[in-house]
Amino acid sequence: MKNCEYQQIDPRALSVSPLSAQNPAEKKVQRPRRKWEAFPGKNRFFCDGRLILARQNGVLPLTLGLIVVTSGLFFAFDCPFLVEHLTVCIPVIGGVLFLFVVASLLRTSFTDPGILPRATADEAADIERQIDTSGSSTYRPPPRTKEILINQQVVKLKYCFTCKMFRPPRTSHCSLCDNCVERFDHHCPWVGNCVGKRNYRYFYSFIISLSFLTSFIFACVITHITLRSQAKKGIVQAVQSSLCTVVELVICFFSIWSILGLSGFHTYLVASNLTTNEDIKGSWSGKRGAEESGNPYTYSNIITNCCATLCGPMPPSLIDRRGFLPPDEAIPAAAASEMELPPFTPKSDANMV
């Protein structure tokens, strides 16, 4: 037998990835992942994270379709008759209202409503240390609320076990989107998104402009049918000659009341500096059986409340959707398993002869 020499292998040399032993031309450069790709909430992102939408957004196409179809029928079948018999300003006014409604709807739907990022592991551990009650021998659960003072009034902050943080004032966790939303108003399925601090002004402009558009089309449709009935000397003949106008009349009749009621309700909320969530829960009234207390966020002036809600500066988005994940978080679990070393198989003595 020939003399064989054994040399000890440095274990650190084996920690090199098998990909490094391949030809450099065959190496696959891993694409850096953006944070929206690993976002924990129940949202959908478009245009590389620039647009955000709730995962349950099936009603949004219905909303957009009703607006487009009703307005399209109006421009196609009513405007030519009304321009000929009344004025050319009718399609101009209708076109401006239509564009404003669609723009407000899309802005509401694709804007971050004010989602708060979830606490990191270090931040969650720090909060747990703050609320820890480990001084006693028996276990006591940590308190779920803490109290702060706003305008000489006590406000309770609730702890969110999903986001691992105390929710700021007026913040609530949306169960459909699975996010804490700042100044949470409500989750609106018609726009396919939550309505909160960053998109409430667009939502309010949407329902107000939609009220004007629906009322305008409704009035024009009635005028159209009235003029046709006078020309044809009968309402039946006028309806038979303009069936599409009747479709518009039915859609507007059944939708205008809810739209006007919703607009009036949110006008009241804006003037009072309230949210839908606070009004339904009765946070600042006696609905809960507690002692009646005033709204600590109101400025006691309708104009000031409206300006603070609708005309203030747009707060920046707190979720860095287009930021890049750290390299250690961006590596998938499959890639990590590929870096494991194969089991060591000793050489056979026959190879050493």
Of the residues 102, 134, 167, the one at which a domain ends = 167
User: Under a CB-based contact definition with an 8 Å cutoff, are residues 274 and 295 in contact?
Assistant: yes
Report the mean per-residue pLDDT for the chain.
82
Average pLDDT over every residue of 31-35:
85
- Sequence-distant (6+) residues with CB within 8 A of 18 are 338, 339
DSSP letter at 281 equals: H
Distance, CA of 70 to CA of 252 (rounded, Å): 8
Say yes or no: 236 and 303 in one domain. yes
**Tens-place pLDDT, residues 231-281:** 766 777 777 777 888 888 899 999 999 999 999 999 999 999 999 999 998
Q: What is the pLDDT of residue 29?
A: 64
Q: Is 274 helix (H, G, I), strand (E, B) or coil?
A: coil
Is 287 a domain residue?
Answer: no
Q: What is the pLDDT of residue 182?
A: 95
Say yes or no: 76 and 139 in one domain. no
**Tens-place pLDDT, residues 36-57:** 888 998 999 999 889 999 988 8
Say yes or no: 45 and 140 in one domain. no
Say yes or no: 131 and 207 in one domain. no
- Sequence-distant (6+) residues with CB within 8 A of 170 are 182, 183, 184, 275, 278, 297
pLDDT of 334 strictly over 80: no
Asked about 244 being catalytic, the answer comes back as no
What is the identity of the amino acid at 226?
T
Is 288 a domain residue?
Answer: no
Say yes or no: 194 and 61 in one domain. yes
- 151: alpha, beta or left? (left if phi > 0; alpha if psi -120 to 50): left
Say yes or no: 127 and 219 in one domain. no
pLDDT of 332 strictly over 50: no
Q: Is the dihedral of CA 281, 285, 287, 289 positive or negative?
A: positive
**Tens-place pLDDT, residues 86-114:** 889 999 999 999 999 999 999 999 999 99
Say yes or no: 130 and 235 in one domain. no
DSSP letter at 196 equals: -
Q: What is the extent of the structural domain holding 124? A: 117-167
Of the residues 106, 138, 167, the one at which a domain ends = 167
Cα dist. 283→18, 179, 275, 276, 340 in Å? 61, 21, 10, 10, 56
Distance, CA of 40 to CA of 42 (rounded, Å): 7
Q: Which of 163, 174, 177, 188 is catalytic?
A: 188
Is 353 a domain residue?
Answer: no
Q: In the chain, which ranges are continuous DSSP H helix? A: 60-73, 79-85, 89-109, 121-130, 200-232, 235-240, 243-272, 276-281, 302-310, 327-330, 333-338
Say yes or no: 85 and 197 in one domain. yes
Residue 66 banded pLDDT, cuts 50, 70, 90 = very high
Q: What's the number of domains the chain is made of? A: 2
**Tens-place pLDDT, residues 173-218:** 999 999 999 999 999 999 999 999 999 999 999 999 999 999 999 9
Can you spell out the DSSP letters for 103-158? Answer: HHHHHHHTS---BPPPP-HHHHHHHHHHT--TTSSS--PPPSEEEEEETTEEEEEE
Q: What is the pLDDT of residue 300?
A: 87
Is 125 a domain residue?
Answer: yes
Is 211 a domain residue?
Answer: yes
Say yes or no: 227 and 264 in one domain. yes
Is 271 a domain residue?
Answer: yes
Cα dist. 117→85, 172, 178 in Å? 57, 13, 11
Average pLDDT over every residue of 13-18:
48
Say yes or no: 194 and 239 in one domain. yes
Say yes or no: 95 and 215 in one domain. yes
Residue 335 banded pLDDT, cuts 50, 70, 90 = very low
Is 345 a domain residue?
Answer: no
Say yes or no: 259 and 139 in one domain. no
Cα dist. 320→38, 39, 264 in Å? 11, 10, 35
Distance, CA of 173 to CA of 68 (rounded, Å): 33
pLDDT of 135 strictly over 60: no
Burial code (b: 16+ CB inside 10 Å, e: under 16) for 242-274 equals beebeebbebbeeebeebeebbeebeebbebbb
Of the ranges 11-25, 121-135, 151-165, the best mean pLDDT one = 151-165
pTM, two decimals, is: 0.80
Of the residues 132, 167, 202, the one at which a domain ends = 167
Is 265 a domain residue?
Answer: yes
User: Under a CB-based contact definition with an 8 Å cutoff, are residues 319 and 115 in contact?
Assistant: yes
